Amino acid sequence: MPNHAVKIIDNVYWVGVNDHETRFFEGLWALPDGMSYNAYIVRGRNKTALIELVKDSFTEEFCRRVEEVVPLADIDYIVHNHLEPDHSGAASAIYPRCPRAVILATAKGKDFIAQFYGESERVRAVGEGDEIDLGGRTLRFLSYPWLHWPDSMFTYLVEDKVLFPCDAFGGFGAVDRALFDDEWDLEAYWPESRRYLGTIVASYLKHVVKAIDNWVKGGMGINVLCPSHGPVYRANPMAIISRYQEWALNERGRKVVMVVGSMWGNTHKMGEVVRRRLVERGLEVCYFDAATAEPGQVMGAMLNAGGIVFGVPTYDACIYPRSEYFLTLFRTKKKTGYPVAVFTQNSWKVDIFPKVEAYLRDLKAEIIGPVVTGHGRPTAEVTRELELLANNLASRITNPCACPVE
């Protein structure tokens, strides 16, 4: 159990912390199993580097862990792969305790350090391919902007082929029960890693694919993969890399994500008609209740989805707020260009579809007809329209050239 510094290989140590206090990462994504903030020490013959820091509320625990390996005052370099507060929040307390440390970040990271922490004199910007020699050990810096901030980079320990890829290849969950991949049941863990990719890095999936392609073409090996969140992959780094590659390609398959809101259950009755017909047509359906769905689960399910269904009731002549929340989230996370089916529900004869349609235009959605409106429990006529809607969506997903049935 890593309640202490953990040796990864000779003179490379994990010195991170585990967070079981924060309920929602970024204030959005549920953390039922906590979160790890991974930081690492690399020691050469002459110099020592500290790669990444931690969230500010864990500063003292972090300092104790670092000093199990080396006194803070003896650290020569602090490497910031990324400046979001879960990676850098402890900086204001750590910088004074490491008086001789040179602080390394990308040029954009240097700007953020000045902006967030008021430090500039000790900060040196590093660029693509720059290196520092620790004495028999070389750290090489590789720029990967938009994985997932403009300041992001990877750090590579050349001689031992250890990659510190920041938020790439990470996952939700604390690592206090086990740190290394060969100590985990990875099949049980992959959904949390997929949910992480589908939320934290969702808007930048093309950059993930590009990064992996660069590594493959560049021929740089990886013996150990040390992400900033989740387990350290010492047995099989390709286990997570290959999955990230598959998920990030986001090839659209025979899967539909349904997000259905309902106050009194009638919209769910409509949703069940659509769900049942889609399954009959051979599609996988991920059905979410907008009132209770964890947003990360929804975003994770969107990876490799082929279409979307929104079931939206009327609330005070407006869009039901929980449905509007997901429409906003889909827009924020750039879930664009999908075939989308919509059904609405109202008893006041208020047409809310134009308000929904405004979101769908932002999503560059292909709206699959008919748009169906119910007024309470679905009648036989509404049921037929819902089945037609499901058939048209299924045909569009399985045969892109299919024409909708009117």
Domain CATH code at residue 80: 3.60.15.10
Q: Is the peptide bond before 370 cis (omega within 30 degrees of 0)?
A: yes
Asked if 139 and 276 sit in the same domain, the reply is no
Average pLDDT over residues 268-286: 98
* 308, part of any domain: yes
Residue 395 has pLDDT above 60, yes or no: yes
Pick the range with the lowest mean pLDDT from 139-148, 273-282, 315-324. 139-148
Q: In the predicted model, what is the mean pLDDT of the chain? A: 94
CA pair distance 74, 54, nearest whole angstrom: 19
Asked if 228 and 279 sit in the same domain, the reply is no
* 197, part of any domain: yes
Q: Among 217, 249, 281, where does a domain finish?
A: 249
CA atoms within 13 A of residue 66's CA, in its CB half-sphere: 28
CATH classification at residue 362: 3.40.50.360
Asked if 311 and 202 sit in the same domain, the reply is no
Asked if 132 and 266 sit in the same domain, the reply is no
Q: Which helix (H) or strand (E) holds 48?
A: strand 48-51
* 199, part of any domain: yes
Helix (H, G, I), strand (E, B) or coil at 225: strand
Asked if 70 and 174 sit in the same domain, the reply is yes
Q: What pLDDT score was predicted for residue 201? A: 84
- pLDDT, one tens digit per residue, over 113-169 is 999 999 999 999 999 999 999 999 999 999 988 888 899 999 999 999 999 999 999
- Residue 85: which domain range? 6-249
**pTM to 2 decimal places:** 0.90
Q: What pLDDT score was predicted for residue 1? A: 52
Asked if 224 and 333 sit in the same domain, the reply is no
Q: What pLDDT score was predicted for residue 146? A: 84
CA pair distance 278, 343, nearest whole angstrom: 15
Asked if 283 and 344 sit in the same domain, the reply is yes
CB neighbourhood size of 14 (10 A)? 22
Q: Among 192, 220, 249, where does a domain finish?
A: 249
Question: How many independent structural domains does the chain possess?
Answer: 2
Do residues 90 and 66 make contact, with C-beta atoms less than 8 angstroms apart? no
Asked if 95 and 240 sit in the same domain, the reply is yes
* 405, part of any domain: no
The candidate with the shortest Cα–Cα distance to 154, out of 5, 229, 51, is: 51
Asked if 245 and 266 sit in the same domain, the reply is no
Do residues 280 and 393 make contact, with C-beta atoms less than 8 angstroms apart? no
Asked if 29 and 140 sit in the same domain, the reply is yes
- pLDDT, one tens digit per residue, over 169-187 is 999 999 998 999 999 999 9
* 103, part of any domain: yes
Q: Among 222, 249, 276, where does a domain finish?
A: 249
Asked if 295 and 362 sit in the same domain, the reply is yes
Asked if 227 and 150 sit in the same domain, the reply is yes
* 348, part of any domain: yes
Q: What pLDDT score was predicted for residue 117? A: 96
* 403, part of any domain: no
- pLDDT, one tens digit per residue, over 73-87 is 999 999 999 999 999
Q: What pLDDT score was predicted for residue 399? A: 82
In which band, very low, low, confident or very high, does the pLDDT at 232 lie, cut at 50, 70 and 90? very high
- pLDDT, one tens digit per residue, over 29-42 is 999 999 999 999 99
